[in-house]
Amino acid sequence: MDDSTLTALMEREHHEVDEAIADFVQGLREGDVRHADLGRATSLLQRHIYIEEAFIFPPLRAKGMLAPILVMEREHGQIWRTLDAVNLEVGSGTAADSVPDRCQQLLHELQVHNDKEEPIIYPQADALLTDSDKDAVRDFIDSGTMPDGWVCAQAANG
Ligand SMILES: [Fe+2]
Ligand SMILES: [Fe+2]
């Protein structure tokens, strides 16, 4: 099992998500609407949010980080809806011109969000989670699958 800090593991995921979205936008620019690439970005991002809401946020909330976790979950809700909008626009094929702008919006929302998680939330997770909580995160990153149909806590509260 990877024994890196949660901060390092989760920051790596942020970079993978950003790269997958950027690859998709690059494909659009080259005139190649690659649904498979958007699918990769979508599953990486949704799975990342699942890891946080299922494994990292509950123990932090139990340690008293109520307001910061609520802010993170609200931002997940906005990110989730923007990602849904990109998928809808690509799937319908009727609003293709708006897709790159929508992807830029998504990347911006992620940057604002990650700029709080990386210096604040993840170091707190490394400091406060038990070893077994951390092992659960690492195990899931290695081999876990997000439950079918799972949506983030604030997905519908826009
Ligand atoms: Fe997050
Ligand atoms: Fe994150």
* Amino acid in position 59: P
Rounded to the nearest angstrom, the distance between the alpha carbon of 137 and the centre of ligand 1 is 14
| Residues by chain with Cβ below 5 Å of ion ligand 2 | 117
72-107 residue pLDDT tens: 999 999 999 999 999 998 887 665 678 889 999 999
Rounded to the nearest angstrom, the distance between the alpha carbon of 135 and the centre of ligand 1 is 19
Buried b (16+ CB within 10 A) or exposed e, 79-114: bbbbbebbbebbeeeeeeeebeebbebbbebbeebb
Q: Give the model's pLDDT for residue 34.
A: 54
117-153 residue pLDDT tens: 999 999 999 999 999 999 999 999 999 999 999 999 9
Q: Give the model's pLDDT for residue 40.
A: 92
Q: 24: how many CB neighbours lie within 10 A of its CB?
A: 25
Rounded to the nearest angstrom, the distance between the alpha carbon of 31 and the centre of ligand 2 is 30
Mean pLDDT confidence for 15-26: 94
- With helix as H, strand as E and coil as C, how does 110-148 read? HHHHHHHHHHHHHHHHHHHCCHHHHHHHHHHHHHCCCCC
Q: What's the distance, CA 112 to chain centroid?
A: 12
Q: 4: how many CB neighbours lie within 10 A of its CB?
A: 13
Domains (ranges, CATH) in the chain?
A: 6-143 (1.20.120.520)
